[in-house]
Structure 1
Amino acid sequence: MSTQRIRYDEVAPHVLKAMLGLEKALAETQLEPSLRELVKIRASQLNGCAYCVDMHSSDALKAGEQTRRLLSLTTWHETPFFSARERAALLWTETLTLVSERHAPDEIYQQVAEHFNERELAELTFAIATINAWNRIGIGLAMQPE
């Protein structure tokens, strides 16, 4: 295991401030907090960001998420534990996180759009983009769970 490569909060506080501003805006979306955490965890799993998986799993548990659902998140396609709306969000999360492989086909967009209004879909897309940015910071700077 590596140690964190640089202290980005110390050397680039102005950029961190912008990212935290985005997080504050995302906290005020119409999306359910539990859904936002599932999206953060699933994207982090796909990206292999141990720091973010750990942080957001802990946050989800503290907020009342069921352990069973968190343990099943990697196999959400095969389990009955997630609502149709959550499944749509997870599908969009996987699609955008793996955009270089899948792009974002109209068929998937239409499936997802059945469960979200336009504002929610925009907010979901921003939430997915943001966690992917955090994952790249965490992985690139070798951040590890404590």
Structure 2
Amino acid sequence: MTTTIPARTTARLDLKGLAPEVSAAMGEPHRAAVRAGRAAGVGPELLELARIHASQLNGRAFCLDVHTKDTRAQGETEQRIHTLAAWRETPFFTERERAALAPAEAVTSVQDGQVPDEVYAAAREVFDEPRVTAVNWAAVVINAYNRTAISTRMVPGAHQPAPRS
């Protein structure tokens, strides 16, 4: 027996229209996480990889659409984007990127329990505390956005990346 899963082509709720003040406020944690990353020396490319991977784990098409477009606009390769879900099995990611992907994955996969001490310790071998903190905040914020997309069935496709400066 096969089950057909209908495509979700319409959003369930218009959060921006119905609660614009909350929607606008959701942007501040993202901007703050970006600032924390910049201050800690964690580039936007690395944080985008973490956001994409968290969105892959959560199965969020809307967030995948946004962040894969944004990271491509920053110069990321298709090969790395396509293999990000299996980052442990590829030679395409640096030690630094792996040190960010593992904690982002652990923060996203909290249904498995707490973030393991080994994940944190491995990240600390590569990053100082401000960098680990920046990666953590990026993962927490994208997970909040993923939950928003889940609950409202946000439809992917319309996002266009900001022009590169």
In the superposition, the TM-score normalised over structure 2's length comes to 0.84
Equivalent residue for 2:108, pick from 97, 102, 113? 97
Counterpart CA distance in 1 for 2:133 and 2:90 is: 27
Deviation, structure 1 residue 121: 1.1
CA distance in 2, matches of 1:118, 1:18: 27
- In structure 2, how many angstroms separate the alpha carbons of the residues matched to 1:67 and 1:17? 31
Is residue 133 of structure 2 the alignment partner of residue 126 of structure 1?
no
Residue 26 (str. 1) matches residue 33 (str. 2): yes
Identity %, equivalent residues: 40
Aligned partner letter, 1:25: A
Q: Name which of structure 1's ranges 19-28 and 120-129 shifts more when overlaid on structure 2.
A: 19-28
Stretches of structure 2 that go unaligned for 5 or more consecutive residues are 1-6, 158-165
Q: Give the corresponding residue for 2:18.
A: 11
Query: Which whole-Å deviations, capped at 9, do the CAs of 1:82-107 have from their partners, x for residues lacking one?
Result: 01110111111111100121421211
- 1:30-58 CA-to-partner distances (Å, cap 9, x unmatched) read 32111011011000000000011111001
Greater mean deviation of Cα atoms: 76-85 or 113-122 = 113-122
Q: Number of paired residues? A: 146
**Structure 2 equivalent of residue 82 of structure 1:** 93
C-alpha deviation, 1:27, in angstroms: 2.2
Q: Which residue does 1:51 correspond to in 2?
A: 62
CA distance in 1, matches of 2:156, 2:24: 22
Q: Which has the larger radius of gyration?
A: 2
State how far apart, in whole Å, the 2-side matches of 1:123 and 1:17 are.
22
Distance in 2 separating the partners of 1:22 and 1:107: 27
* Distance of 1:18 and 1:114 partners within structure 2: 34
User: Which residue identity does 2:15 align to in structure 1?
Assistant: Y
> What one-letter code is carried by the residue in structure 1 that aligns with 2:137?
F
2:20 partner amino acid: P
Structure 1 unaligned residues grouped into runs of 5+: none
SS for the counterpart of 2:126 is coil
